Amino acid sequence: MDCEALVTRWLAKAFNTVLPGCNGGKVVPSKDSRFGDWQCNDAMGLAKRAGKNPREVAQAVIDACPLPELIEKAEVAGPGFINITLSKRAIAASVEALSQDEHLGIPQSGKNEKVVIDYSSPNVAKPMHIGHIRSTVIGNAIDRILRALGYTVIADNHLGDWGTQFGILIMGYRHFLTDDERANLTVELLEKVYVQSYNKTKESEEWLDTCRQELVKLQAGDEENLAIWKRFIEISLKEFGRIYGRLDVSFDLYRGESYYQPMLGPTVDLLKEKGLATQSEGAWIVDMKEEGLEVAIVRKRDGGFNYTTTDIATVRSRTEEFDPARIIYVTDERQQLHFRQFFRICDKLGFCTKTQLQHVWFGLMRLPDATFSTRQGNVIKLETLLDEAAARARAIVDESHPDWSEAEKAALAEAIGIGAIKYADLSHDPTTMIVFTWERALALDGNSGPYLQYANARLNSLLAKYRDQVGKDPMNNAIALTSDTEKALALWLLQYPNAVQRAGDLCKPSVLADYLYQLCQLYSTFYQSSPVLKEGTEPEVRDSRIRLCAAVSTVLRAGLKLLGIPTPERL
Ligand code: ARG
């Protein structure tokens, strides 16, 4: 039983009777519950187009077909809104069905369409810093949401594992590390010697020259340099893997830039063949000034290729291998021009006839206070941020569960800390800049990760208590809506599939985060006014209410999972 589908079908048929061929019937939740549960706003626009009176059209629509049983009342309001009040029985049955459905009502609109998502994609030999958190967290949430919508997702970590920095890095590795450090290599050490070696290129022509030669040797496949480079990657992946593990993020592919190296020459050849690349001062460029885009260099004067060339080759490789309907790139806003440029080039090359390219960009995350500044400068390592989140959450856990074991306390603190950071990111529209504060991220009573985790844990314990005391599985009960707060909560539950669909369509996990926050608020209003297990509650009322709680719990847990937020059993 899907109320929305039934109401939409009734409306569509009625609209079609009144204005044949028109496409009306969409419903949205009512702005004001006094006027109904849902409203349809289509009569206004459609009537205008047909030169008719909107209110008359709206009334004719209502009168066109018999009211389906699930609608208690339908009436015209204002300039031509159709306000619909659903029967409580229909809403209850819909909630029961939704919470038992394997997809929780989420339309499988992806139809197994293939989507590649390129996200996180840090550069090797550098620590992941807080700039990478949004790509990783937002990208992963989009990944999960699209899978839930029935897309076949290929998550690809396009590591920055190739580039001119490796000559400088190899020299730093050879000359500024002790044997011991080389044996116990870390990304931090690599970063340190990179800076040392880089600084030396500024002082010494000779050093700079040797760095260049080492790079050329690497690119030509020199065995020793290749082995060192592989070690950089191995060490970096180990460190990134630790962070991905903590963030519960995983990829289907780890194809770094190096994977596409053999394809770069042929890519530039293709551009030349199609007359898209021209020579300018010794370099090969694609001139798109006429289209208002800047010139893109695809082969440098020294013969080297760059970021744009690699990305073009990547699209070609991905389309040939996977034939995806779409490739989504998740990076910060500063790369917008780059993506516009190479998308346009791919378009000209005919790579985009079957594959849509989409750049999902996000604003930067800023830290307002000095809490994060390290002695080395103001680049905060992601791992440091995660550690601090867990440490701060630990203080909360220590206070609430002094009797728990060390392992239990550590695990819970980690879940709260990671949840707080992820949610602080995901609850904002990706295109906005966020100013991160610990107070807001860890607040137990605001729009925060811990607040949602707390609601989830409380629901768990309420359900457990019911099973214990009453000895029944709440999911087997029926819902009978009696109060307005119950009804409001039930109606909101029915919006879950729409929220997931919209979050996926817009590539904005924040839509789902907003939905879940609102769900918790409605739940809390309901819970305060509607005793469930309190003594004196009628058994039928109790059984119905706990069933509603079970539905909230199911949806909340699933929704948090789609955002990648951990859901500890107890808090
Ligand atoms: N490695 C790049 C960076 O850290 C991000 C790569 C994004 N993906 C891509 N295909 N360009 O800035």
3-state helix, strand, coil in the chain (%, to 5): 60, 10, 30
Give the integer Cα–Cα distance in Å for 566 and 453.
8
Q: Which of 126, 159, 335 to mutate to test the pocket of ligand 1 (most atoms within 8 A of CB)?
A: 335
CB 149 within 8 A of CB 109: yes
CB 451 within 8 A of CB 443: yes
pLDDT tens by residue, 13-64 = 999 999 999 999 999 999 888 899 999 999 999 999 999 999 999 999 999 9
User: pLDDT class for 374, splitting at 50, 70, 90?
Assistant: very low
State in Å: Cα 124 to ligand 1 middle: 11
Given this model, what pLDDT does residue 33 score?
Answer: 87
Given this model, what pLDDT does residue 375 score?
Answer: 42
Strand order in the sheet with 28-29: 28-29, 38-40, 81-86, 71-77
The tokens describing 245, both together, are 């593990």
Given this model, what pLDDT does residue 485 score?
Answer: 95
Strand order in the sheet with 114-118: 152-156, 114-118, 326-332, 356-362
CB 309 within 8 A of CB 268: yes
Give the integer Cα–Cα distance in Å for 322 and 330.
19
Given this model, what pLDDT does residue 555 score?
Answer: 98
State in Å: Cα 157 to ligand 1 middle: 9
Q: Which of 158, 240, 253, 329 to mutate to test the pocket of ligand 1 (most atoms within 8 A of CB)?
A: 158
- Among 2-16, 498-512, 547-561, the minimum mean pLDDT is found in 2-16
The tokens describing 50, both together, are 């047909």
Does residue 419 have a pLDDT over 70?
yes
Give the DSSP letter of residue 71. E
Q: What angle do CA 70, 75, 76 make, to 5 degrees?
A: 145
pLDDT tens by residue, 185-225 = 999 999 999 999 999 999 999 999 999 999 999 988 999 99
Amino acid in position 484: D
CB 571 within 8 A of CB 453: yes
Pairing outcome for strands 71-77 and 38-40: unpaired
191 ligand 1 Cβ < 6 A = no
Q: Which residues pair with 253 in a beta bridge?
A: 156
Q: Closest residue (by CA) to atom 7 of ligand 1?
A: 121
Q: Beta-strand (E) ranges in 100-227?
A: 114-118, 152-156
Give the integer Cα–Cα distance in Å for 213 and 375.
34
Average pLDDT over the chain reads 94
Q: Closest residue (by CA) to atom 12 of ligand 1?
A: 122
User: pLDDT class for 376, splitting at 50, 70, 90?
Assistant: very low
Given this model, what pLDDT does residue 564 score?
Answer: 98
Does residue 377 have a pLDDT over 60?
no
Q: Identify the helix (H) or strand (E) that includes residue 283.
A: strand 283-286
User: pLDDT class for 1, splitting at 50, 70, 90?
Assistant: low
Give the whole-number percent of the chain exceeding pLDDT 70.
98
pLDDT tens by residue, 80-128 = 999 999 999 999 999 999 999 999 999 999 999 999 999 999 999 988 9
495 ligand 1 Cβ < 6 A = no
Given this model, what pLDDT does residue 365 score?
Answer: 85
236 ligand 1 Cβ < 6 A = no
Q: Is 65 exposed, middle or buried (0-12, 13-18, 19+ CB in 10 A)?
A: middle
User: pLDDT class for 378, splitting at 50, 70, 90?
Assistant: low
Given this model, what pLDDT does residue 2 score?
Answer: 84
Q: Could you identify the residue written with the tokens 């009512």?
A: 30
Given this model, what pLDDT does residue 369 score?
Answer: 60
pTM of the model: 0.95
**Which one is predicted more confidently, 520 or 370?**
520
CB 144 within 8 A of CB 564: yes
CB 304 within 8 A of CB 164: yes
Give the whole-number percent of the chain exceeding pLDDT 90.
90
pLDDT tens by residue, 262-289 = 999 999 999 999 999 999 999 999 999 9
121 ligand 1 Cβ < 6 A = yes
State in Å: Cα 311 to ligand 1 middle: 9
CB 125 within 8 A of CB 191: yes
Number of the ligand 1 atom closest to the C-alpha atom of 314: 10
State in Å: Cα 118 to ligand 1 middle: 8
Does residue 142 have a pLDDT over 70?
yes
Q: Which residues pair with 129 in a beta bridge?
A: 381
Exposure string over 21-46, b if 16+ CB within 10 A, otherwise e: ebebbbbeebeeeeebbbbbbbbbeb
Q: Closest residue (by CA) to atom 6 of ligand 1?
A: 121
State in Å: Cα 332 to ligand 1 middle: 9
| Angle, in degrees to the nearest 10, between helices 539-563 and 509-529 | 160
